[in-house]
Amino acid sequence: MQGRSYLWISGGLALLAVLAVANVASAQMMPDLGYQQMAAAEYPSATAVSYKGTDDLAREVAELREWKESVEKKEAEAKKKAAGAPTVQVGGRIYVDTAMFNQNGNSIAQVGDADNGSEFRTTRIFVKGKAFHVVDYKLQFDISGNTTVDSEGIFNNKRIGQVVYKDVYMSINELPFLGHLRLGHFKEPFSIEQLTSSRFITFMERSLGDEGIFVPGRNMGVMAFDWSEDENMTWAIGGFVNEIPDNPPLYHNDHGQAAVTMRLTWLPWYDEATNGRGLLHLGAGYSYRSTRPNLLRLRSHPESHLAPYVLDTGLLLDTPNYQLYNAEAAYVYGPFSAQAEYFGIALNRIDGRINENFNGCYLNLSYFLTGENRVYDRHIGSFTRVKPFGNFFRVRDENCCIQTGIGAWEIAYRFSHGNLIGEVVNGGRTNDHTVGLNWYLNPYMRMMFNYIHSTTDDAAAMNGNIDIFQMRAQIDF
């Protein structure tokens, strides 16, 4: 009995196995529709849920696709609208200066007593932008009011305390033949030191004679400028209204007061592989200027804005026009750089007065102790922002040790000379020696320390000495 029972059980199991295999095979060979119909017949509720989920998913995918297309369409419309509207960028700069002076008796007799002081040397706000790919603009104002030209123009040269114009212009780009055309109030194309922003110059102030004697600075006018295809040459030429105040600029006079200024630069060598860690710059400038009305005054500080004037011709009568000219050179080799300029001025006088010729020059040497280099702008022919290899910081690591970044450190020396002693005019002769230390905390902030030894003599050979120590905290954004 046991053997028969065992046979019956074994046979039943074998039969069930064969039927199962046959059922699976038939299911695999069956079309999907038939299988779904069988599943629906056997499990109607579950299949309905499955079909319902598939329809919802397809509908959601379609809705997502439609939403994506609408978003892309809106973004395209926004880009098209933005391309037709001017962009707007807001920024500014703040310089806080402190200066201390030490003079000998001759210097006090020559230029007066220099008082220690502090000031906001510059507090500027600007708005700039572009439009339609071929137009750009800038509006920049100095709210610290540190200008030495008042509403009387060159006659008083008083310092005024009001908002003054700096760069306020519009430009049209990609013009045939001319390249770029700028109109408004901006720097005339003259001198690599002048065209390098005060944010990027090596010393707190530009060299002796800049913008007060040998360099025209900012004026109202129109200028065409461009650069070569290989970016190794730049040129600029413009017509300006000469010697008008910045508060705000206004010209209303019948006495000419026109100026034509031009500049040409060339890069004989530029190390492309290192993006300009090695370069040689050469350039020259010229300006012809008429005065209002036949009057002119030339004077300059000893490279400190808080110092008194050490060069001063006084008011020059019967001087209807004069000419400025300069030659410039700059050399960069890794962290070392040198920069020099020679300036000349020729006065054309009338009524039997003797024409006068004055001159000046400077030489800068600088070295980055941390290995950075001065950065050159090939579209302007001047220097731009220095970026430290590592910014200044202090943080505590996981081991509670303080880690410090040192920023960039630069040492510098400058000799500058200005001579305003002529056959008749006695405006003085000054030599300045400046030693500087710059600490770049990051690309947008630096601390500056300058020591200046200034020696001035005049036709009476009175040697006046001023020693100046000054500091600046500077940030731009």
What residue ranges define each of the domains in the chain, with the CATH number in brackets? 90-476 (2.40.160.10)
Bridge-based pairing of strands 164-175 and 445-457 is unpaired
pTM, whole model, 2 decimals?
0.79
> Is pLDDT at 3 greater than 60 in this prediction?
no
Lowest mean pLDDT among 66-80, 322-336, 359-373, 424-438: 66-80
CB 140 within 8 A of CB 129: no
Identity of the amino acid at 183: L
Q: How far apart are CA 279 and CA 377, in angstroms?
A: 11
Lowest mean pLDDT among 78-82, 203-207, 339-343: 78-82
Question: Average of pLDDT values for 31-35?
Answer: 46
Give the model's pLDDT for residue 257.
82
Among the listed residues 407, 415, 413, the one whose alpha carbon sits nearest the alpha carbon of residue 386 = 407
Q: What is the pLDDT of residues 264-285, one digit of tens each?
A: 999 999 999 999 999 999 999 9
Give the model's pLDDT for residue 304.
94
Q: DSSP secondary structure string, 284-318?
A: EEEEEEE-SSS-EEEEE-SS-TTSPPSEEEEEEPS
Burial of 382 (0-12, 13-18, 19+ CB in 10 A): buried
Structure tokens at 252: 């209303």
> Is pLDDT at 154 greater than 60 in this prediction?
no
Q: How many distinct helices (H) and strands (E) make up the chain? A: 5, 22
Structure tokens at 459: 């036709």
Q: Which helix (H) or strand (E) holds 15?
A: helix 2-29
> Is pLDDT at 243 greater than 60 in this prediction?
yes
**What share of the chain in percent tops pLDDT 90?**
59
Give the model's pLDDT for residue 394.
85
Lowest mean pLDDT among 42-46, 225-229, 336-340, 343-347: 42-46
pLDDT band at 148 (very low <50, low <70, confident <90, very high): low
> Is pLDDT at 312 greater than 50 in this prediction?
yes
**What share of the chain in percent tops pLDDT 70?**
81
Q: How far apart are CA 224 and CA 356, in angstroms?
A: 31
> Is pLDDT at 424 greater than 50 in this prediction?
yes
Give the model's pLDDT for residue 207.
95
Q: How far apart are CA 12 and CA 16, in angstroms?
A: 6
Other Cβ atoms less than 10 A from the Cβ of 246: the count is 24
Give the model's pLDDT for residue 255.
65
Give the model's pLDDT for residue 123.
94
